[in-house]
Structure 1
Amino acid sequence: MLKIGLTGGIGSGKTTVSNMLNNLGVKIIDTDIISHSLTTPNGEAIPLIKKYFGNQSLSPDGSMNRIWMRSYVFSNNYERKKLEFIMHPLILKKTKREIEKIYNNCNKYHYLVIVVPLLLESSMWINMFDKICVVDCDLQTQIDRTKNRPNMSLYLIKKIIKSQIKRSMRLRHADYIINNSYNIKYYELIKQIKCYHKIWHEISNTF
């Protein structure tokens, strides 16, 4: 089965694209959803988060305090790397489990899309995919979209963008690019996605 790694910077529109693909019948694994499941009350990552970041890293219900953690780790590269060291192996392990489940029902799907925001920032993901698709937009569009999210200051947004791989490097690694900048209309976006859907469907038999 063909495995497509879908990535892009914050605010690029990865969720929008993956939802459109899902509406076309494509199976999606979203590692952000996996990450959330690991940090819910009694989630697999919670004991390590509590151990290395203390009680302040947890909400009253025992889940990870995302607002606190986001602000904390993006103000300190060492702490951010520490969180990634905890989270990435757990996300990878759970992603592999999900892939295995889908493989057991492989006749149903021609290809699989796995959404990984930090695909190119972490070497552990690179060899998992047959092709990489980047959802791309300009910097100002990233900022404008992200500042509409709760608890996202301009300072924090810029810190997050700075922590991610440069746009030029991300595009250099792409086998496919979906343009989702501010001037792209909905019908233009869906046209790109349907085009790639057709291509991936056609080449899936070679993987």
Structure 2
Amino acid sequence: MAYWVGLTGGIGSGKSQVAAAFADAGVPVIDADVISRSLTADNGKALPEIRTQFGDDIFDQDGRLNRAQLRDLVFRRPEAKQQLEALMFPLILSEIKQQQQKYSQAVYGVIDIPLLIEQPEFMVLANRILVVDTLEQNQIERVRRRSHLEDAEIRRIMASQASRKEKLLVADDVLPNNGTIQELTGKVDRLHCYYQARFLYLSRVNL
């Protein structure tokens, strides 16, 4: 049985870089965002129910989901956001569990879940929670460079996520990311060695 680390962090924290570093080290990485996009891609499992709940207007003439229009709807109507989450989260949860089975022989794996803290039902998937932590100003600067958003929009997104304090309270491990990519990669490498040793020992104890 593989052990699983739930990886999370706020927007601009560097979580995706951490996930990539784990993958480069040979660790299985399951990405909840990739799963979510696949569920809403052409012929995705979520599309029939999305059409039923939100109507034909958010689909184009070729039957493709208009993601921008759906995002706008969810932003304007909080009840629509709740509807979409109630629809999507069980599907994402089920798909993650299926993917976990593929890596049952690994020592451990990583599940990249941006809303792990905000949606506690996902915590059952992980044995430990790893939070990528950074200063608020770093988040704003990174997102501004990457996505060219205004500061007010970035702060709005940050406000919709769990606070830094809330994340740190539930973390088993915290990975500070206030330096260079090289420094971050080195920290991941050390954490990987720790996880390998810890989970290998636990797997032997629990035989």
Q: 1:79, CA displacement in angstroms?
A: 1.8
Matched residue pairs, number?
201
Q: Does 1:200 align with 2:195?
A: yes
Instruction: Give the counterpart letter for 1:68 in structure 2.
Output: Q
**Structure 1 match to 2:13:** 12
1:157 corresponds in structure 2 to: 154
Separation of aligned partners in 2, 1:169 and 1:123: 12
Question: How many Å separate the matches in 2 of 1:148 and 1:51?
Answer: 38
Q: Which structure would you say has the larger Rg?
A: 2
Q: Secondary structure at the match of 2:22?
A: helix
Closer, same or farther in 2 for the Cα pair 1:115/1:61, shift >3 Å? Answer: farther
What is the TM-score with the length of structure 2 in the denominator? 0.88
* Residue aligning to 1:3: 4
Tell me whether 31-40 or 66-75 shows the greater mean CA deviation: 66-75
1:140 is aligned to 2:137:
yes
Q: Displacement, 1:81?
A: 1.5
1:112 aligns with 2:109: yes
Structure 2 matches for 1:43-192, cutoff 5 A? 43-103=44-104, 106=105, 109-149=106-146, 152-181=149-178, 184-192=179-187
The TM-score with structure 1 as length reference comes to 0.88
**Identity over the aligned pairs, expressed in percent?**
36
Unaligned ranges ≥5, structure 1: none
- Shift of the 69–146 alpha-carbon distance from structure 1 to 2, 3 Å rule, reads farther
Comparing both structures, which one devotes a greater share of its residues to helix? 2
The whole-number CA distance in structure 2 between the counterparts of 1:69 and 1:94 is: 22
Judge conservation of contact 2:97–2:125 (CA < 8 Å) in 1: no
| Aligned CA distance change for structure 1 residues 169 and 91 (closer, same or farther; 3 Å) | same
CA distance in 1, matches of 2:16, 2:66: 22
Q: Which runs of 5+ in 2 are unaligned?
A: none
